[in-house]
Amino acid sequence: MELKVDVKEHGNPLSLGTSIILLSLVLIFLLRWKDTPASQNGLPLINAKRRFEFVDLLAKKRFITNAQELLKAGLKKVRLSQFAATNRVIDPIKASVFNIVTENGVMMVLDPKYADEIRNSKILSLRKTLIEDMHVNVPGFEQQMQALEDDEIFQTTLKTKLTRNLEDLNEILSQEATVALQEHWTDNPEWHEIPLSRSMLKIIAQLSSRVFLGDKICHNPKWLRISVDYSIDLFQATFELRIYPRFLRPLASRFQPSCRRLRADIREARSIIEPVIEERRKAKAIAKQEGRDPERHEDTIEWLEEVANGRQYNPVSAQLLLSSAAVHTSSDMLTQVLYDLDGRQELIEALREEIRSVFKNGWERSSLAKLRLMDSMLRESQRLKPISSVSMRRMAEAPVTLSDGTIIPKDCKIIVPCLRQWDEKYYPDPETFVPDRFLKLRNEPGYEHTAAFANSSPNHLGFGLGRHACPGRFFAANEIKLALCHILMKYEFRVVGKKPEKVVFGTMLAADPNGVIAVRRRKGEEQIRL
């Protein structure tokens, strides 16, 4: 392990002696690594330290580079070993759990068959997982807890305000999509190249910010930079702090360049958002004094204020959390969808015809729900490449006994792999992109709604499952559909160069960030009123 200390970058330089002490403490901690609750539960351990590996750094590296295959191999190994165990009283159906060394230490892996059983468990805590893995007690990281505060202001805002107002927001998003695409893709009728991932980040950041922060901030270039870069800085800082033992992380964060960038992002976000909130609060107070109704704003600034109803909360943390949760996931999804559509001209024309049919008379409240082929295609794209190869990250606050006798020890961290999404038992020809796969499934009894893009099941964990499923998934689905409608009807596009390949980092699966596409403005679709 190489620990670099850049004294120029730090501004408050560490002395050589301090650096040596810090490095020594890290090494002592690693060498005295204690077993976690997961490693003490008696289950097989996958990706364990190999011979002559005295610490698990190399095991963690193997997980980062090959997590999906290790998870597959783990389930296969325990199933085979359980079936072969003839001298022990073991039920083969229990051959579905094992431990694995991840970049966050040892975790217990549960087969997706347990997903429904644990989906709404209050003992299996997402909050504790965040505290353990996301450094939420370190300055600069605490905003991640905003979604899990006991007052539930954040969750209630998403569930009762954002989701319920989706149909009223569609035309606003559509107008913003027109502006964003003109800016980033232009109206140039000649082929011109653009970096796809970066352009999608900027477009989705602008659309999301229109709903989250209103029209005053959504065109602010400083905020748009933060909404794109903040998640990148958060990811890098989170990963880099993990090389330090937990008790040293607050100190290390003072000098780590990525952590300093993160805190700078927060300071700048505060300088942008707080004046707008203060201005609105003053305007409401004046309106109340004058006995008139205050001006309403259809955005999450307004809705958070309404839900809080005078209770204390951190509006800047809430907006940063919204941005980090929405911008990169939706832009990654849309980037992957365009890669999947590349070269499939018949599918593109079928999608365009569906859009023409739905929007021939302009906007209706149910317009996006009628795009059933598009909905199916999006779900299929997400099936093949979700944002993560695992879901339902939790930590047990007390021992949990599952229906078949499987025990999850207290303080044990669990994950559920998304392996069913690539399993021929659940999806025939699972490696093939079949855009109408879920359209056909929705025509079968009982699948009308469960096979829709924004819904989840143990067979498709793209948005999680249960009480901690992504609360903004319905907004994300609408936003992606709207952006895709504008792209398909207004542009031709094709991938330039080699076929893009997904980037794997541990359980994270990202669309190729380096892909380039050529685009040109189409003509003749102006009559479609998006």
Residue 126 belongs to domain with CATH number:
1.10.630.10
Q: Which residues contact 258 (CB under 8 A, 6 or more apart)?
A: 233, 236, 237, 240
Please, are residues 355 and 528 in contact by the beta-carbon 8 Å criterion? Answer: yes
- pLDDT, position 525: 67
Among the residues of 185-314, which ranges form H helices?
196-213, 221-241, 249-253, 257-289, 300-308
Q: Which residues of 287-310 are buried (b: 16+ CB within 10 A; e: fewer)?
A: eeeeeeeeeebebbbbbbbebbee
- pLDDT, position 6: 40
DSSP characters over 326-341:
HHHHHHHHHHHHHHHH
Instruction: Evaluate if residue 11 carries a pLDDT over 80.
Output: no
What is the domain extent for residue 494? Answer: 111-521
Please check whether residue 471 lies inside any domain of the structure: yes
Helix (H) or strand (E) holding 503: strand 503-505
For residue 326, give the amino acid letter: A
CA-CA distance, 169 to 31, in Å (whole number)?
A: 54
- 460 sits in the region (left: phi over 0; alpha: psi -120 to 50; else beta) called beta
Backbone angles phi, psi at 154, to 5 degrees: -65, -50
Please check whether residue 66 lies inside any domain of the structure: no
Q: Which residues contact 438 (CB under 8 A, 6 or more apart)?
A: 375, 376, 379, 380, 451, 452, 453
Instruction: Evaluate if residue 64 carries a pLDDT over 80.
Output: yes
Mean per-residue pLDDT of the chain: 88
Please check whether residue 17 lies inside any domain of the structure: no
DSSP code of residue 499: P
Please check whether residue 45 lies inside any domain of the structure: no
Please check whether residue 321 lies inside any domain of the structure: yes
Please, are residues 118 and 110 in contact by the beta-carbon 8 Å criterion? Answer: yes
CA-CA distance, 487 to 493, in Å (whole number)?
A: 9
Strand ranges in 369-449 using DSSP code E only, listed in sequence order: 390-396, 400-401, 407-408, 413-417
Instruction: Evaluate if residue 454 carries a pLDDT over 70.
Output: yes
Please check whether residue 4 lies inside any domain of the structure: no
Reported as a single tens digit per residue, the pLDDT across 294-338 is: 998 999 999 999 999 989 899 999 999 999 999 999 999 999 999
259 is in an annotated binding site: no
Please check whether residue 84 lies inside any domain of the structure: no
The encoded tokens of residue 341 equal: 């559509």
What total number of domains does the chain contain?
Answer: 1
Distance of CA 331 to the CA centre of its chain: 10
Reported as a single tens digit per residue, the pLDDT across 142-183 is: 887 776 676 689 989 998 899 999 988 998 999 999 999 999
Instruction: Evaluate if residue 524 carries a pLDDT over 80.
Output: no
pTM: 0.89
Please check whether residue 127 lies inside any domain of the structure: yes
